[in-house]
A = this chain, B = another copy of it.
């Protein structure tokens, strides 16, 4: 089983728009919080990955907005690495309302691996090992990504 990580955030006034809900673009920041906390839970900050000369720019992002979220709502961002995707590094997200326990949004981001010169590269060994270690499925061990 591929474990997920949960982190909580609170909707700021600056996140909302005149409709009274959070602006759709701001969910991308929450996805960022989700994946950075997932990395951190693995004992590896995303910052430390960049310090090794590896950047993970977003190559695709998707979000389905299911239930609007409002100012001051406390949300759970659930993040999971998706080991089934080989062309890039993919994270899946689900955002829940903490109080009402309803699904507010779901989505994913796909990331390329880039060197400091801006060239797309294959994930270096330390990174593919890190991803493999933390996805938990036995079959992952055989996947020489």
Contacts and interface: CB of A to CB of B under 8 A. Distances in A.
Interface of A: 12-14, 16-21, 23-29, 32-33, 36, 45-47, 55, 57-65, 68, 70-72, 109, 118
Contacts of A27: 25
B28 A24 contact: yes
Copies in the complex: 4
B72 A65 contact: no
B60 A65 contact: yes
28 contacts: A12-B32, A12-B36, A13-B23, A13-B46, A14-B17, A14-B29, A14-B32, A18-B71, A19-B55, A21-B57, A23-B28, A24-B28, A24-B57, A24-B58, A24-B61, A25-B27, A25-B29, A25-B32, A25-B61, A45-B72, A57-B65, A60-B62, A60-B63, A60-B64, A61-B61, A61-B62, A61-B63, A62-B63
Contact of A23 (B14, B64, B70): B14
B68 A64 contact: no
Contacts of A32: 12-14, 25
Nearest to A47: B72
Contacts of A46: 13, 72
Q: Which 5 A-B pairs have the closest CB atoms?
A: A25-B28, A16-B18, A24-B58, A47-B72, A62-B62
Contacts of A20: 18
